[in-house]
Amino acid sequence: MPGNVQSVERAASMLQLLAEENEPLTLQQIAGALSLAKGTAHGLLRTLVDVGFIEQVHPAGPYRVSAELFRLGVDRLDLNELRARALNWTDALAARTGESTRVAAFRQGHVVVAHHVFSADETRQTLVTGTYVPLHASALGKILLAFDPGAARSIIGQELPSLTYRTVTDRFALQRELAVIRDVGWAAAVEESEPGICSIAASIRDRGGHVVAAVGIEGPVEQLCDERSRPRPGLVTQVVRAGRAISRELGHGRDE
Amino acid sequence: MSAPEKYIAALDQGTTSTRCMLFDHGGHMVSIAQREHRQYFPQPGWVEHDASEIWSIVKRIMPQALADAGADPEDVVALGVTNQRETTVVWDRSTGVPVSRAIVWQDTRSSSVLDRIAATLGAETITRLTGLPLTGYFSGPKLRWLLDGDEHLRMRAERGDLLFGTMDSWITWNLTGGVDGGLHVTDVTNASRTMLMNLETLDWDPELLRALDVPAVMLPQIVPTIGVLGRTVEPLAGIPIGALIGDQQASLFGQTAFDAGDAKCTFGTGSFLLLNTGTEIVRPESGLISTVAHKVENEPTSYALEGSVAVAGGLVQWCRDSLGLIRHTSEIETLAAGVADNGGCYVVPAFSGLFAPLWEPRAQGVIVGLTSYVTKAHIARAVLEASAWQTKDIVEAMNSAGGTPAKSLTVDGGMTADNLLMQLVADVLDIPVVRPMMAETVALGAAYAAGLAAGYWADRDELRRQWHRAAEWQPAMDPVRRKAEYGNWLHAVSLTQGWGRRS
């Protein structure tokens, strides 16, 4: 039987150490406390920062356990519960816009569709609940990239595959777009995952203000966009409102 | 500047919670405020609610729903009230205080008075007059149990000091002023569940009042389902009340199942399949109920056949509240999805005896097929399967009563958020299951009814055009497995009767 993996043991000791301290610790202090070479300690700390278990107060600053670690598993919103809470508002969004409506969250490296409402055009449609949408080429995915640190970390060092000629595959272009999304609070993907298809999405926040999911509509580009391929402002407003309503359902902005 | 948006409000007083919703002209929900109330289980088979608590929740959520929509009372064109049916409240006319906790529709205690009723009027005659089987589910026997158990109470009732009502009556009386001139009314759909109303005359029937030994003086006035009956005084003044309608009839209306042959199945605390039979009363068979679908003043009454299942979502709630198996009801799907089958385990939730099609008040719930192999995930799966099989039982009864088998099942209610359950229902019925683009059809139906009364919507065609398909599940179960599983289910059901009949 193989022995314990030394680096996992060391990483666990680091987490224990940081969790017990009230103040952030420097690399020097951590390496000293655990009798590790500075290079070894630094490598482990870098990895723990990348997976989101610890964070630095400022770049090159001391380390502390990230708030995310304490939410690990405990508060994670059940996707079936998310669907039940979103149901009324996604129905209203689908009915108002006439477009197919989805709610998605980031799970195990993928944007998973938690809920799907058919478009109102009465064509034959199939539920896509449980399937994935592309992280960098869909409005739902971009919302999660912009606001969910786990989703953002998952594309570090990964290639952004081109799905259509309009897919944003340049990392810097994508980062610039995510910054805008964080400012305006909604995202769009116009023919970026599939020719002729556009999607618009907004964030869903929990009681604590964390973005836990995204809600959006998807449909033919001529229905969702104006002549200049810009998302129609009326539809954007509806999507943002639905996101706010579902967030309120999850306790965001409610006193009780 | 355009005129401010006008809305229709719906007040849905359900078994576990009360909600107030505002709808716009497109029938889209604009706001929702809701709150659960406490469930009392003082003895096995007993279920009670505190009617005062429910009224205080109404007072709190109505203003909240309007505030969330940014609406003033004058922006609300009409209010529709819909309610858990049969739940029985008796209160003091001069103080407005209930004499006891409300006896909830799931409560089985009144089966003890059925023999006394049958001694005066035969069960067959009662069914002919009311469309209902002689069981304790309906509010008349519950009222009889209350009055039989307390001589002083009966005396006060006969003196005219006490008022009886189902939740629609209690809420409306309070909304319209309570002790200061509150309207004591009930609508025909709710009255058709009392066992005191004649299904043809739509009035209290002297023969039934005699058999159930209920003083007429305590009964509310029966009004049509749709039609403005007054204005609210509390908690917001001046909103016209446009409709009173029992919850299952409301969801039939909300599905725009206006015509004979239209049907729906609602998955709530219980599950209820209603088939609109048009203006004809279809005499019930196969354990079904004949009931009023809705009535507009001076128009012919619409009737329905109903298959009633007492426990559906209620079983999931029990897993959460009494077993602690899950933290939120939706987690039942997460848990159940962890296994591919039930592992040989079956749950039959005969908590209130069995309703349709067997009507066996003495049956008690069972969990069978336990081995060390069975995990909580298997039990969760069996819990969802129980709702699917019970639906099959009432669909089969409806098929044999209606003559033509259903080609698809239109569903609604909060449990339709459970995709695994909906797939199971499609699998066991072997027909597609369709959810409309508004799962909360109970509130929507009450809003539709009130909005029609107030002229907010022109006619029913306008409402039909608002119906859209939101989701559909196709059957995918192997027929051999379906047959074997159904056999197991029926065997488990027979065990609930055997267990209940012991002693």
Give tens-digit pLDDT for A180-199. 999 999 999 999 999 999 99
The C-alpha angle B90, B93, B95, rounded to 5 degrees, equals 100
Whether residue A122 lies inside any domain: the answer is yes
Contacts of A94 in chain B (CB under 8 A): 437, 468, 470
Pairing mode, if any, of strands B76-83 and B17-23? unpaired
Q: For B75-79, B90-94, B287-291, B354-358, which range has the lowest pLDDT when averaged over its residues?
A: B354-358
Cβ of A87 within 8 Å of Cβ of B26? The answer is no
Contact present, A181 and A141 (Cβ < 8 Å):
no
Measure B459 CA to nearest chain A CA, in Å. 20
Pairing mode, if any, of strands B346-348 and B29-36? unpaired
Question: How many CB contacts within 8 angstroms connect chain A with chain B?
Answer: 78
Cβ of B470 within 8 Å of Cβ of A89? The answer is no
Residue A187 and residue A203 in one domain: yes
User: What CATH number is given to the structural domain containing A147?
Assistant: 3.30.450.40
Contact present, A254 and A240 (Cβ < 8 Å):
no
Give the whole-angstrom CA distance, residue A224 versus residue A200: 8
Confidence grade of residue A169 (pLDDT, cut at 50, 70, 90): confident
Contact present, B35 and B41 (Cβ < 8 Å):
no
> Residue range B321-329: average pLDDT?
89
Q: Chain B residue closest to A89 (CA)?
A: B29
In eight-state DSSP terms, residue A158 is: -
Tell me which of A75, A80, A85 to substitute to probe the interface with B (most B C-beta atoms closer than 10 Å): A80
- The predicted structure's pLDDT at residue B503: 55
> Residue range B150-172: average pLDDT?
96
Contacts of B468 in chain A (CB under 8 A): 94-95, 118, 120, 122
In eight-state DSSP terms, residue A231 is: B
Residue A66 and residue A101 in one domain: no
In eight-state DSSP terms, residue B279 is: T
The pLDDT of residue B1 is above 80: no
3-state secondary structure of B434: strand
**Residue A50 contacts B, CB cutoff 8 Å:** no
Give tens-digit pLDDT for B454-501. 999 999 999 999 888 899 999 999 999 999 999 999 999 999 988 887
User: What are the CA-CA distances from residue A21 to residues A24, A35, B501 (Å)?
Assistant: 7, 17, 64
Tell me which of B24, B468, B474 to substitute to probe the interface with A (most A C-beta atoms closer than 10 Å): B468
The neighbouring-strand residues paired with B346 are: B368
State the total domains in chain A: 2
Whether residue A103 lies inside any domain: the answer is yes
> Residue range B378-400: average pLDDT?
93
- The predicted structure's pLDDT at residue A75: 58
Q: For A59-63, B52-56, B125-129, B249-253, which range has the lowest pLDDT when averaged over its residues?
A: A59-63
Contacts of B472 in chain A (CB under 8 A): 118, 125-127
Give the whole-angstrom CA distance, residue B120 versus residue B463: 46
Cβ of B328 within 8 Å of Cβ of A78? The answer is yes
Residue type at B140 in one-letter notation: G
Domain that holds residue A54: 6-71
Residue A64 and residue A183 in one domain: no
In eight-state DSSP terms, residue A74 is: T
Angle at which helix B479-501 crosses helix B419-429, to 10 degrees, equals: 100
Of A71, A102, A126, which residue constitutes the final position of a domain?
A71
- The predicted structure's pLDDT at residue A150: 85
Cβ of A95 within 8 Å of Cβ of B28? The answer is yes
The neighbouring-strand residues paired with B266 are: B272, B412
Contact present, B35 and B18 (Cβ < 8 Å):
yes
- The predicted structure's pLDDT at residue A55: 84
Measure A76 CA to nearest chain B CA, in Å. 12
Give the whole-angstrom CA distance, residue A216 versus residue B159: 61
Whether residue A56 lies inside any domain: the answer is yes
- The predicted structure's pLDDT at residue B110: 92
Residue A54 and residue A84 in one domain: no
**Residue A103 contacts B, CB cutoff 8 Å:** no
Whether residue A108 lies inside any domain: the answer is yes
Residue A170 and residue A134 in one domain: yes
The pLDDT of residue B411 is above 60: yes
Confidence grade of residue B45 (pLDDT, cut at 50, 70, 90): confident
Residue A52 and residue A161 in one domain: no
Contacts of A115 in chain B (CB under 8 A): 417
Of A71, A91, A120, which residue constitutes the final position of a domain?
A71
The pLDDT of residue B246 is above 70: yes
Write out the two tokens for A204.
Answer: 């869903």
User: What are the CA-CA distances from residue B331 to residues A79, A83, B107, B181, B314 (Å)?
Assistant: 9, 11, 27, 46, 14
Residue A108 and residue A175 in one domain: yes
* DSSP result, B103-115: EPTT--GGGGGHH
Residue in B329, B419, B437 nearest the CB of A94:
B437
The pLDDT of residue B138 is above 90: yes
User: What are the CA-CA distances from residue A43 to residues A49, B173, B238, B467 (Å)?
Assistant: 10, 72, 70, 59
Confidence grade of residue A208 (pLDDT, cut at 50, 70, 90): confident
- The predicted structure's pLDDT at residue A254: 66
Give the whole-angstrom CA distance, residue B389 versus residue B421: 11
Residue A92 and residue A48 in one domain: no
Cis peptide before A2 (omega within 30 of 0): no
Closest C-alpha among A82, A126, A216 to residue B469: A126
Residue A39 and residue A161 in one domain: no
Give tens-digit pLDDT for B196-210. 999 999 999 999 999
Contact present, B19 and B57 (Cβ < 8 Å):
no
For chain A, the residue count is: 256
- The predicted structure's pLDDT at residue A121: 81
In eight-state DSSP terms, residue B455 is: T
- The predicted structure's pLDDT at residue A180: 95
Three-state DSSP string of B319-359: HHHCCCCCCCCCHHHHHHCCCCCCCCCEEECCECEECCCCC
Contacts of B254 in chain A (CB under 8 A): none
- The predicted structure's pLDDT at residue B252: 94
Residue A26 and residue A133 in one domain: no
Give the whole-angstrom CA distance, residue B445 versus residue B136: 27
Confidence grade of residue B408 (pLDDT, cut at 50, 70, 90): confident
Contacts of A122 in chain B (CB under 8 A): 468-469
Residue A59 and residue A98 in one domain: no
Write out the two tokens for B141.
Answer: 């026997």
Give the whole-angstrom CA distance, residue B57 versus residue B38: 11
Whether residue A256 lies inside any domain: the answer is no
Three-state DSSP string of B188-251: HHHHCCCCCECCCCCCECHHHHHHHCCCHHHCCEEECCEEEEEECCCCCCCCEEEEEEEHHHHH
Whether residue A1 lies inside any domain: the answer is no
User: What CATH number is given to the structural domain containing A34?
Assistant: 1.10.10.10
> Residue range A166-185: average pLDDT?
92
Q: Chain A residue closest to B328 (CA)?
A: A81
Measure B88 CA to nearest chain A CA, in Å. 30
**Residue A49 contacts B, CB cutoff 8 Å:** no
Confidence grade of residue A255 (pLDDT, cut at 50, 70, 90): low
**Residue A226 contacts B, CB cutoff 8 Å:** no
**Residue A241 contacts B, CB cutoff 8 Å:** no
Residues of chain B with a CB closer than 8 angstroms to some CB in chain A: 26-30, 32, 328-331, 333-334, 414, 416-419, 437-440, 466, 468-473
- The predicted structure's pLDDT at residue B490: 94
Whether residue A255 lies inside any domain: the answer is no
Of A71, A88, A122, which residue constitutes the final position of a domain?
A71
**What is the gyration radius of the CA atoms in chain B, in angstroms?**
22
Measure B413 CA to nearest chain A CA, in Å. 11
pLDDT > 70: percent of chain A? 95
Closest C-alpha among B392, B91, B414 to residue B247: B414
- The predicted structure's pLDDT at residue A256: 45
Residue in B28, B330, B466 nearest the CB of A78:
B330
Whether residue A193 lies inside any domain: the answer is yes
Chain mean pLDDT for chain A? 89
Whole-model pTM: value is 0.83
Contacts of A84 in chain B (CB under 8 A): 328-330, 414, 417-418
Residue A126 and residue A21 in one domain: no
Give the whole-angstrom CA distance, residue B6 versus residue A234: 20
